[in-house]
């Protein structure tokens, strides 16, 4: 009889923003099956419900969990219940959510006694070594531990002390790991509308301290063969039901082979109409090649809107970059990226992390403004999570930079799960850096409010028509965003309640993890989280609330600020007033209730906005004045209706679902109604 093994990369039921195919466990499973296929059978799981059904019917010999920051508690709750029900079942954990300091690793394993073995770093070879050891000892876990065997990359506790196996050298030829796509191992996930996740290379040459891949272990880059990648793309295109494609590479786009892979993506697009959107162009160096790679995809049958062109920086401040061992490319490169993206209608994308070591309020806002000034049209700020496995999360780094953290319930991780006849909850708890030696908690809150303004009023070019008009009068996007943020702080701002709610939810923080757990045990608290009253992703939620339900207020604010800037510039007149009034009506007709595909709007305008839009509103609008009037029809076309239906099916229309759609759609403008001359 074959040894039964389950491998799980669980997500909580509500976590639609990380609904990718579990590639990591699939690769480990493929490697094990290649070497021991006659002795083992493996089942893979993503959803807790499916995993629970399996456990009710099967007593697995080995249960494996892939541990990330978003699933550690649900993994441990399943492990605890499995160990109680099946004491002889071997529980194995792996994945990046694991400390890198030996004493902290020991503390982790002692606090999670249901974990028999933790596989550190890459999993394929160590898992095979561990399996062979288990077979040799006839699954007698205690005998293995009493012998204090040094199993490569494996950590475990014996007599209250940690036992560490030495690190194997990472596989050089990673093609020795069979493709889980081509073997059919991932077929069931392709049919579940999960985002296809691919990997073309392992390793990262950079040593960023906030990242789990910054360790020396990962510094050597190893690539899968070009033919394998091409075969996988062809296979996935014929089996997936999700419109998107995501690459998990740390730096895709900056290597020579990546350009050829992009040609294959374009070829697949032309043949199968998939992918609609591609996420994963994130090379930190060689931006010329990254731009070339993006242009190849853009020239495919889908043309504009089909790719994110990324320029993640984390900060533009030299002191912060030195502290996190990061070196960004010059600002001229960001300008080139923005121009390249604009030339073929795609998004240029950059990320900044708030409150990194050495960060200040002024430095954070200056970083955002520098990126906006360069023309990057999605500048997204993230909170600084303390990730196990990242150098900056070590106790030494915390002391060095005066890092102060608080704890919160991770959004959408509270839901009822049932196993062996009992219902349980397993909320995840984030540790967030909210202050440091150089940034106070109040400054942190001010930066969070500012980041919401950028998310609502700037990202994805939601008001690109206004920005391009203001540029005709030498008024910058930075001035627009800066004055928008001042405007919303007024007591009579139509968005005051929105920002008050955002600030209130941002403060849902506790000093210790234990305080969070105590709070969750109070009567009625779990229900408040499940209803969405508590525990939201504030930035995701409040952007969704603004875009889906407050589009009139957004337009009132944006156009009032534009008018004020033009008055200050001394160039405002009646002609501009009339143009802005009509532009606001045109913009609202396209963007308001954008997910309601049944709505058709018909209006008459005195400006040929349809022609002006073909030039991305960069031309002089007054040459498009048509005093006789033009009747325009606003409607979602068939392709848009299909795309919106797909997104709604995957994410839903809750605040969180809409926020996820807005974050995952490569270019939100693809969701706006099309305008055409009636």
What is the C-alpha R_g of the chain? 26
Task: Please give the residue that has the higher pLDDT: either 628 or 192.
Answer: 628
DSSP structural state of residue 349: E
- What is the pLDDT at residue 159? 96
- What is the pLDDT at residue 659? 87
CA distance 82 to 329: 49
Is the confidence at residue 667, as pLDDT, over 80? no
Mean pLDDT of 113-135: 97
Mean pLDDT of 130-147: 97
596 φ, ψ (degrees, to nearest 5): -95, 90
- What is the pLDDT at residue 660? 85
- What is the pLDDT at residue 445? 97
- The beta-strand segments (E) located in 171-285 are 197-198, 201-202, 222-223, 244-247, 277-281
Give the contacts of 286 (CB within 8 A, at least 6 positions apart): 253, 254, 255
Task: Please give the residue that has the higher pLDDT: either 32 or 256.
Answer: 32
Is the confidence at residue 518, as pLDDT, over 80? yes
Specify the range with the lowest mean pLDDT, choosing from 146-160, 175-189, 285-299, 382-396: 285-299
- What is the pLDDT at residue 84? 96
Residue with tokens 């490697």: 31
Specify the range with the lowest mean pLDDT, choosing from 281-295, 375-389, 492-506, 606-620: 281-295
- What is the pLDDT at residue 95? 95
Confidence of residue 665 (pLDDT cuts 50, 70, 90): low
Mean pLDDT of 187-212: 90
Is the confidence at residue 75, as pLDDT, over 70? yes
Confidence of residue 251 (pLDDT cuts 50, 70, 90): confident
Give the contacts of 426 (CB within 8 A, at least 6 positions apart): 12, 73, 74, 76, 77, 78, 413, 417
Burial class of 43 by CB neighbour count within 10 A (0 to 12, 13 to 18, 19+): middle
Is the confidence at residue 303, as pLDDT, over 50? no
Mean pLDDT rounded to a whole number for the chain: 91
**For a pLDDT cut of 90, what percent of the chain falls above it?**
76
pLDDT digits over 564-590, tens only? 999 999 999 999 999 999 999 999 999
At residue 93, the 3 state secondary structure works out as strand
- What is the pLDDT at residue 108? 97
CA distance 473 to 579: 14
- What is the pLDDT at residue 222? 95
Distances (CA, A) of 220 to 310, 425, 459: 22, 40, 35
- What is the pLDDT at residue 404? 98
Mean pLDDT of 327-334: 60
With residue 554 as reference, give the H or E element that holds it. Answer: helix 551-569
Mean pLDDT of 462-481: 96
Burial class of 368 by CB neighbour count within 10 A (0 to 12, 13 to 18, 19+): buried
**For a pLDDT cut of 70, what percent of the chain falls above it?**
94
Out of 3.20.20.80, 1.10.10.10, 3.40.50.2300, 1.10.443.10, the CATH code matching 3-164 is 3.40.50.2300
Mean pLDDT of 203-228: 89
Specify the range with the lowest mean pLDDT, choosing from 279-293, 407-421, 424-438: 279-293
Q: Which of 208-212, 502-506, 668-672: highest mean pLDDT?
A: 502-506
- What is the pLDDT at residue 278? 85
- What is the pLDDT at residue 343? 58
- What is the pLDDT at residue 677? 93
- What is the pLDDT at residue 346? 61
Question: Domain extents for the chain?
Answer: 3-164, 550-677
Question: Which sign, positive or negative, has the C-alpha torsion 194, 200, 202, 203?
Answer: negative
- Report helix angle 124-136 to 23-36, nearest 10: 50
Residues in the chain: 678
Confidence of residue 301 (pLDDT cuts 50, 70, 90): very low
Report the predicted TM-score, pTM, of the whole model to 2 decimal places. 0.89
Mean pLDDT of 147-174: 97
Work out the number of other CB atoms within 10 angstroms of the CB of residue 58: 12
160 φ, ψ (degrees, to nearest 5): 75, 5
Confidence of residue 302 (pLDDT cuts 50, 70, 90): very low
Task: Please give the residue that has the higher pLDDT: either 470 or 341.
Answer: 470
Task: Please give the residue that has the higher pLDDT: either 253 or 305.
Answer: 253
Mean pLDDT of 186-203: 93
Is the confidence at residue 340, as pLDDT, over 90? no
Task: Please give the residue that has the higher pLDDT: either 203 or 192.
Answer: 203
Question: Which sign, positive or negative, has the C-alpha torsion 374, 380, 381, 386?
Answer: negative
Is the confidence at residue 655, as pLDDT, over 70? yes
Is the confidence at residue 248, as pLDDT, over 80? yes
Confidence of residue 662 (pLDDT cuts 50, 70, 90): confident
- What is the pLDDT at residue 30? 98
- Report helix angle 477-488 to 441-457, nearest 10: 120
């Amino acid at each position: 009889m074959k040894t039964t093994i389950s491998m799980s990369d669980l997500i909580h039921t509500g976590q639609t923003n990380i609904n990718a195919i579990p590639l990591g466990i699939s690769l480990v499973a493929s490697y094990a099956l290649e070497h021991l296929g006659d002795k083992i059978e493996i089942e893979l799981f993503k959803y807790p419900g499916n995993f629970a059904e399996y456990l009710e019917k099967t007593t697995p010999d080995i249960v494996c969990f892939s541990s990330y920051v978003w699933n550690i508690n649900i993994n441990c709750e399943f492990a605890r219940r499995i160990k109680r029900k099946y004491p002889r079942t071997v529980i194995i954990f792996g994945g990046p959510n694991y400390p890198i300091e030996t004493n902290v690793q020991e503390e982790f394993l002692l606090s999670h006694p249901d974990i028999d073995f933790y596989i550190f770093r890459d999993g394929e070879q160590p898992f095979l070594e561990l399996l062979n050891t288990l077979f040799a000892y006839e699954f007698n876990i205690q005998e293995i531990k009493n012998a204090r065997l040094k199993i490569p990359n494996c950590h475990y506790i014996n007599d209250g002390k940690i036992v560490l196996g030495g690190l194997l050298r990472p596989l050089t030829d990673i093609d020795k790991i069979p493709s889980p796509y081509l073997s059919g191992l991932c077929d069931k996930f392709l049919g579940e509308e999960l985002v296809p996740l691919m990997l073309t290379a392992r390793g990262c040459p950079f040593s960023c301290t906030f990242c789990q891949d910054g360790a020396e272990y990962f510094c050597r880059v190893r690539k899968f063969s070009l033919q394998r990648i091409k075969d996988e793309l062809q296979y996935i295109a014929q089996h997936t039901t999700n419109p998107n494609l995501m690459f998990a590479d740390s730096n895709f786009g900056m290597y020579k082979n990546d350009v050829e892979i992009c040609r294959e993506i374009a070829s697949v697009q032309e043949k199968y109409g998939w992918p609609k959107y591609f996420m994963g162009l994130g090379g930190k160096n060689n931006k010329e090649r990254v731009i070339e790679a993006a242009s190849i995809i853009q020239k495919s049958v889908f043309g504009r809107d089909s790719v994110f062109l990324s320029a993640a920086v984390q900060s533009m401040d030299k002191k912060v970059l030195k502290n996190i061992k990061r070196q960004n490319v010059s600002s001229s490169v960001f300008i080139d990226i923005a121009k390249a993206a604009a030339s073929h209608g795609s998004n240029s994308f950059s990320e900044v992390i708030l409150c990194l070591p050495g960060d200040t309020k002024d430095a954070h806002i200056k970083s955002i403004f520098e990126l906006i000034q360069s023309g990057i049209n999605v500048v997204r700020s993230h909170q600084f999570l303390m990730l196990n496995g990242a150098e900056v999360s070590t106790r030494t780094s915390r002391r060095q930079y005066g890092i102060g953290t608080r704890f919160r319930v991770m959004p959408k991780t509270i839901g009822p799960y049932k196993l062996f006849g009992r219902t349980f909850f397993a909320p995840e708890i984030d540790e967030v850096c909210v202050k440091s030696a150089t940034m106070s908690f109040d400054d942190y809150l001010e930066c969070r409010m500012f980041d919401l303004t950028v998310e609502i009023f700037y990202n994805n070019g939601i008001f690109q028509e206004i920005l391009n008009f203001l540029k005709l009068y030498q008024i910058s996007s930075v001035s627009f965003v800066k004055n928008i943020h001042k405007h919303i702080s007024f007591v009579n701002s139509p968005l005051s309640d929105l920002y008050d709610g955002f600030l209130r939810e941002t403060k849902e923080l506790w000093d210790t993890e234990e305080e969070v757990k105590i709070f969750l045990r109070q009567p009625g608290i779990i229900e408040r989280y499940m209803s969405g009253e508590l525990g939201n992703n504030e930035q995701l939620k409040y952007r969704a609330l603004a875009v889906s339900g407050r589009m009139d207020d957004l337009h009132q604010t944006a156009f009032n600020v534009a008018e004020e800037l033009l008055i200050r510039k001394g160039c405002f007149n009646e002609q501009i007033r009339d143009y802005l009034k009509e532009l606001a009506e045109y913009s609202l007709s396209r963007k308001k209730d954008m997910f309601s595909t049944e709505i058709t709007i018909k209006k008459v305008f005195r400006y040929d906005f349809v022609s002006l839009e073909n030039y991305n509103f960069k031309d002089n609008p007054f040459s498009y004045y048509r005093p006789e009037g033009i009747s325009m029809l606003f409607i979602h076309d068939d392709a848009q209706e299909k795309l919106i239906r797909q997104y709604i099916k995957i994410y839903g229309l809750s605040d969180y679902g809409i926020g996820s759609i807005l974050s995952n759609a490569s270019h939100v403008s693809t969701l706006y109604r099309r305008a055409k001359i009636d």
